[in-house]
Amino acid sequence: MSDQSSEPKRGHFAQNKGEVILREHEYDGIQEFDQKLPNWWLFTFYGAIVWFAVYWFLYYQLHHLRSDREVVVAEMKAVYEKKAKELEATLASLDDQTLVKTWATDAGIVASGEAIYTTNCIACHGADMSAVMMAGDQKIPLPGRSLNDGVWEYSGKPMDIFKIINQGSPVDAKGLNGAKMQAWGQMLTPKQIAEVTAYIIAKNPKEFSAQP
Amino acid sequence: MILVKTNTTITYDDTSVRQFMIASIIWGIVGMLVGVIIATQLSWWQMNGKFLEAFSFGLFKGEGLSYLTFGRLRPLHTNAVIFAFVGNMMFAGVYYSTQRLCKVRMGSDFLSRLHFWGWQTIIVAAAITLPAGLTRGKEYAELIWPINIAVALIWVVFAINFFLTIAKRNEPSLYVALWFYIATIITIAMLYIVNHLSIPTSWIHSYPIFGGLQDGLVQWWYGHNAVAFFLTTPILGIMYYFLPKAANRPVYSYRLSIVHFWSLVFIYIWAGPHHLLNTDLPHWLQKLGMLFSLMLWAPSWGGMLNGLLTLRGAWGQLRTDPVIKFFVAGITFYGMATFEGPLLSISAVNAISHYTDWTIGHVHSGALGWNGFMAAALFYWLAPRLWKTKLWSISLANMHFWIGLVGILIYVAAMWTAGISQALMLNQEDATGTTLKYEFVETLKSIHLEYFLRSLGGLLYLVGFILCGVNIFMTARSGMATNESVEVAVLPREKKDFMKWGESLVNDPLAYIFLGIILVCLWFFLPAHANLGALVAAILLAIKAVRTFRRNSQVWANWHERLIENYLPFTLLVFIAVAIGGALQIIPSLVVNRDKNIEGRLQELYTPLELAGRDIYVSDGCYNCHSQMIRTLKPDVMRYGRTGIADDFSHLGESLYDHPYQWGSKRTGPDLAREGGPVAQGAKHMRIGKRDNIWHYNHFLNPRQTSDGSNMPNYPWLFESKTDFKGLPKKIAVQQKIGVPWPAMTKDEIEQLAREQAMEIATNLVQGGVYLEAKPELKGDELRNYLADQKIVALIAYMQKLGAYREVSPEGGAKPTPLDPDSLRKAAMPLEPPAATIKPH
């Protein structure tokens, strides 16, 4: 490889001339230039080191940056405050009558309630609300309670159904075979809960149309 | 004494090189094939064993096969690709180049053979134990303890063989490739041993001595640096030898080699905590992880530059020589992956990438692009020389290149898209801003196409690699295995390894560096004001160092020049450079944080049955798809936290007694940290958490029944294999030794307690009316007694306990603790109001 005509000078001679150095030593035929480090490369390296010092100084010395815990707690407080207001507003605008007469009769609302039910509820209450699944000809009970047998463990008033879905089974309740429903208010908005409630009402027409 | 320059003829041990290379190709095909299989499992759950029904002509019937589930095969894939494929490839490259760079045959033929056959035996043992569910439950460190010991021993064999070669070298000075090999050998030994410290409970099971946060920290110190020192530094060494050889050009810059080598090995070690960003890992560790990752960018690119710029004047070969093609693409992928790495280490970016497929895409651009293509370049260069012939087919090699490249691009693009789009969906709030818009399973369904494309990309890559195997095989057949002989000048003893320890350790450059590191650490760890003094001193020292260097640069350069003619001092300095980062991050957490730093929440102890269930969870590799860590991020707390509790992210104390920790690194399914709950009303041991026992029962039988669209495998064998009650006393005794405060119990009490709880859960299941299709004859009490013995009940017991804790009020608020910068920060800050708990309406 050393017979190229443009071969650079080697060793200190080249350095003194200000040319690119090709080092004297060869390793199993491998030669090494000794090029200067590219400036842009040095800049990124020094820049990252300086940034380290600056960031650490801002965070640990000046307390200028908030920790992610401080940030997330503040954000979550805001979420829960907003949610409480939202719920308050929903509760103020809803009552048993409105749910049965207005919401449960609106096809659009019932359809979105069904979509929410299908995603979240059928694992425990079954697609037909009977809380039973068929495996071949074998009836397998699901974890939840039946929602189409007219029995309402924690009151069958529409607004009470809404609250149970929102908050989950009451804290002091025994649950069904020990099982309790989680508070769906964490995953669903008050509006969505009202829509599911409307869907449940719509699927039990006899019962709820009889209510005053 | 008169020095007589004598010559001698040596024959290189190229047999070992051939063996390692062939092993690498075979294991590479196996490892990538397993990768393709597990990729398809994420698209089609039937690939977890049920597909065998169609292929076995009725011999196999079932919803799944334990040995083939994702949770067990994924560790097999990662271990095979890292340790079998890249490991053997690295050994081939190291054995070939070290002998030539030292102008001497390998230190000991016996050790070479022991190294080769020992390593292959370990791989076979891994391939048997991992699918059998024998695992330590820590990523890339899954192998059980007897195999760990074998790995450590064989690694020491490799080290002795390597250093023997160096010691008897006929070449005074160590070439940069050897620096990287030395760093690899030293660091991997250190990482592997510390991360595998565990106490056996039987021949096939052990608990790691670290738990919770400490285990996580040690794990990612290891995991991250396994990438650094197993997948990167040895390959850089290989690049430094084989690339200039292939291109027939001098290396671009010797001084860049020096600067990027030392900065790379020193900085890499510190970056481990970037795998735990936004978790409950103490903040100062997270900050170090992030900031050192950013500093790592330039040293990594130094390697890329020295590789690519070496080709200046030789770019023409890119068109004609497949070796150069693979080198250039491999080094380019290295540059992309090492740019992406620091990017993903920024907390805000990590919030999106972590736990999603973006990370998977990132590692594969490194593994397929860098490791796989560098391996191909090495093999295509070596084969004609090892068998004294020409490469069988250049066009086949070109075909390998293009198929492989297209495969990588499809793979990586699919994973980027999948990761980013899933993360954005997961984080998306609904119009009101108070709840999240999508269920987890909806986000999973949305990336089906990407998962399919990923399998396709992986398959293409595998096909390309098989072409490589064929090409190498045909090349070998067309030639004859030859061991190269050369005549070399014997190097007199005094020309190498002459440096006194004093000269190597007591000198200007090292004094400045060590003083600087000490001052910077004092800045980290000293209380307010005192730390400012350290910072000012560090800055002054840096200025002084720069001025001294300007004046004496030739003296410093000469010292380094002499250092690389002395392998022992060089090796010692490498060890110090790689040991500092880990020591400063891990030791404070070991001495300070364990019991004090629980952040007000103390994990409830497991019962014996729950421990048995946890071991099943670990054994089936559930951590490969589920995390147990709610990060300090709004969408995480909204999705997984309990309603109304603003600070319901995971706290340190919640996993204090978890050996091994199970925070996970990827969410193919949802987080499980809040699955557990309190003891059910009227029950003695049985807990009911977020979901009911029957939900879990049905879910393990068929996940799609409870969550439509899930890609989790069915777990029918959990209903047909028994819980290991008898092994519990020994396991609990070991846990007591490593600091888990189990109450004193006799062997009988332990077993009785476990059986009692199992019976309680089984009773609950049977009363709830569960049905077992596999055993239709069992009814009532018979079914109850049967289920109580099965693994499913133990696993349900664990699920219902997972994450349970009790509140512990911290004593007297935040106190500044030495070695804990976060407590110092808190103490110096004005008091913040305690995180309020808003009661649900």
Q: What is the pLDDT of residues B321-337, one digit of tens each?
A: 999 999 999 999 999 99
Which among A76, A176, A184 is the top mutation candidate for probing chain B, defined by the most B β-carbons within 10 Å of its own β-carbon?
A76
| Strand residues in B197-322 grouped as ranges (E) | 198-202, 205-208
- A53/A77 same-domain check: no
Q: Kindly state whether residue A2 falls inside one of the protein's structural domains.
A: no
Closest B-chain CA to A172:
B681
- A87/A188 same-domain check: yes
- A17/A113 same-domain check: no
What is the average pLDDT across B617-626? Answer: 96
Please, which pLDDT band fits residue B834 given cuts at 50, 70 and 90?
A: very low
Q: Is the pLDDT of residue A10 over 60?
A: no
Q: What is the pLDDT of residues B39-86, one digit of tens each?
A: 999 999 999 988 888 888 878 888 889 999 999 999 999 999 999 999
Rounded to whole angstroms, the Cα distance separating B391 from B471 reads: 8
Q: Kindly state whether residue A44 falls inside one of the protein's structural domains.
A: yes
Contact A178 B245 (CB under 8 A): no
Chain B CB within 8 Å of residue A171 CB: no
- A145/A185 same-domain check: yes
- A28/A85 same-domain check: no
| Strand residues in B244-337 grouped as ranges (E) | none
* pLDDT the model gives residue A17: 58
What is the average pLDDT across B144-153? Answer: 97
* Nearest residue to B441 via CA among B673, B712, B663: B712
- A151/A188 same-domain check: yes
Domains located in chain B, CATH noted: 507-596 (no CATH), 601-807 (1.10.760.10)
Please, which pLDDT band fits residue A2 given cuts at 50, 70 and 90?
A: very low
Q: What is the pLDDT of residues A165-187, one digit of tens each?
A: 998 888 777 778 777 888 888 88
Q: Is the pLDDT of residue B529 over 90?
A: no
pLDDT higher at B601 or B398: B398
Q: Kindly state whether residue A6 falls inside one of the protein's structural domains.
A: no
- A89/A192 same-domain check: yes
Q: Is the pLDDT of residue B110 over 90?
A: yes
Nearest to A34 among B253, B294, B690 (CB): B253
CB B249 within 8 A of CB B311: yes
Q: What is the pLDDT of residues B283-316, one digit of tens each?
A: 899 999 999 999 999 999 999 999 999 998 888 8
Give the pair of three-digit tokens for residue A106. 């609106």
Nearest to A179 among B241, B295, B688 (CB): B688
Please, which pLDDT band fits residue A139 given cuts at 50, 70 and 90?
A: confident
Report how many domains make up chain A: 2
* pLDDT the model gives residue B4: 58
Q: What mean pLDDT value characterizes chain B?
A: 92
Q: Which helix (H) or strand (E) holds B486?
A: strand B485-489
CB B135 within 8 A of CB B75: yes
Q: Kindly state whether residue A57 falls inside one of the protein's structural domains.
A: yes
Closest A-chain CA to B287:
A56
Nearest to A76 among B283, B523, B637 (CB): B637
Q: Which residues, 6+ apart, have CB-to-CB distance to B684 below 8 Å?
A: B756, B757, B760
* pLDDT the model gives residue B108: 95
- A17/A109 same-domain check: no
Task: Measure B314 CA to nearest chain A CA, in Å.
Answer: 12
Q: Kindly state whether residue A67 falls inside one of the protein's structural domains.
A: no
- A56/A85 same-domain check: no
Rounded to whole angstroms, the Cα distance separating B732 from B743 reads: 10
Residues 47-86 of A with CB under 8 A from B: 48-49, 51-53, 55-57, 59-61, 63, 67-73, 75-77, 79-84, 86
* pLDDT the model gives residue B595: 63
Q: What is the pLDDT of residues B8-41, one digit of tens each?
A: 999 999 999 999 999 999 999 999 999 999 999 9
pLDDT higher at B598 or A32: A32
Residues 82-111 of A with CB under 8 A from B: 82-84, 86-88
| Strand residues in B280-362 grouped as ranges (E) | none
Rounded to whole angstroms, the Cα distance separating B415 from B222 reads: 25
CB B117 within 8 A of CB B19: no
Rounded to two decimals, what is the model's pTM?
A: 0.92
Q: What is the pLDDT of residues B216-270, one digit of tens each?
A: 999 999 999 988 999 999 999 999 999 999 999 999 999 999 999 999 999 999 9
Please, which pLDDT band fits residue A71 given cuts at 50, 70 and 90?
A: very high
Closest B-chain CA to A77:
B646
How is B733-756 classified by DSSP, letter by letter? HHHHHTT--PPP--HHHHHHHHHH
Q: Kindly state whether residue A136 falls inside one of the protein's structural domains.
A: yes
Q: Kindly state whether residue A1 falls inside one of the protein's structural domains.
A: no
* pLDDT the model gives residue B596: 66
Contact A177 B244 (CB under 8 A): no
Rounded to whole angstroms, the Cα distance separating B420 from B358 reads: 7
- A108/A203 same-domain check: yes
Lowest mean pLDDT among A127-136, B531-540, B585-594: B585-594
- A88/A190 same-domain check: yes
Q: Kindly state whether residue A5 falls inside one of the protein's structural domains.
A: no
Nearest to A1 among B248, B297, B705 (CB): B248
* Nearest residue to B626 via CA among B580, B573, B671, B692: B671
Please, which pLDDT band fits residue B454 given cuts at 50, 70 and 90?
A: very high
* pLDDT the model gives residue B836: 42
* pLDDT the model gives residue B839: 41
Q: What is the pLDDT of residues B490-506, one digit of tens each?
A: 998 888 888 888 888 88
Which among A1, A32, A163 is the top mutation candidate for probing chain B, defined by the most B β-carbons within 10 Å of its own β-carbon?
A32
* CB < 8 Å to B647, chain A: 69, 72-73, 76
What is the average pLDDT across B647-669? Answer: 93
Q: What mean pLDDT value characterizes chain A?
A: 84
Nearest to B255 among A34, A52, A140 (CB): A34
- A51/A82 same-domain check: no
CATH of the domain at A107: 1.10.760.10
- Containing structural domain, residue A200: 73-209
pLDDT higher at B372 or B828: B372
